[in-house]
Structure 1
Amino acid sequence: RSAAYMARYIAKNLVAAGVCDKATIQLAYAIGVVEPVSILVDTHGTSYVDENRLEACVREFFRLTPRGIIESLDLLRPIYRQTAAYGHFGRELDTFSWEKRDKVSQIKDYFGLK
């Protein structure tokens, strides 16, 4: 579930930064390998930037190791009871760190956007 939270977090930040209108993020992991073996950023044809640079941007600004995900999203907090009703995604609760858009300025700077 941690990688799903991170994928949501990445997609929300990319869209909020204005690099695309829509984003699907796929992260693939292998047993014994801490970094993802594959990262796919699909903007469904809505990208406003060079799509070939999106993966590099994701790797630069998001910590994608299991430890990095847990620490970045502060997933050890006792917040999961709130996800039992109405789901994990699409709710703007302060405790759901994967819904935050705190990487927007870094992403904009990376692509030279205002």
Structure 2
Amino acid sequence: MLAPGSKKTHRAYVWAYATTSAADIKAVVYDFSPCRSGEYARYFLGAWKGKLVCDEYGGYQASFALGVTKIGCMAHARQVLRVTRHQKSILAEQAFQLCLKTNKETWTAI
């Protein structure tokens, strides 16, 4: 983003929010913010208390404390699985299988 008045650029962010495939209204909303602070996501979400599919970004933690339900990002979990299978970690494989089971139950509830 071009910083106003300075003729220099700095990093800015666009948050993406989408309804689920089961929602009556199909929508994607892009929300611009000048920094990565989780306060922008909390401001946009307001009093919403649904299920949020996300990665481990710390900016969401306050939203979880306010009643938003976290659903882990399976794309990131698959990356972890590839690494752990390469390293032949039985414990990591068990953790991944537990993650799959937990997310399957959560997705079924949506």
Provide TM-score, normalisation by structure 1. Answer: 0.26
Larger RCO of the pair (alpha carbons < 8 Å, separation 6+): 1
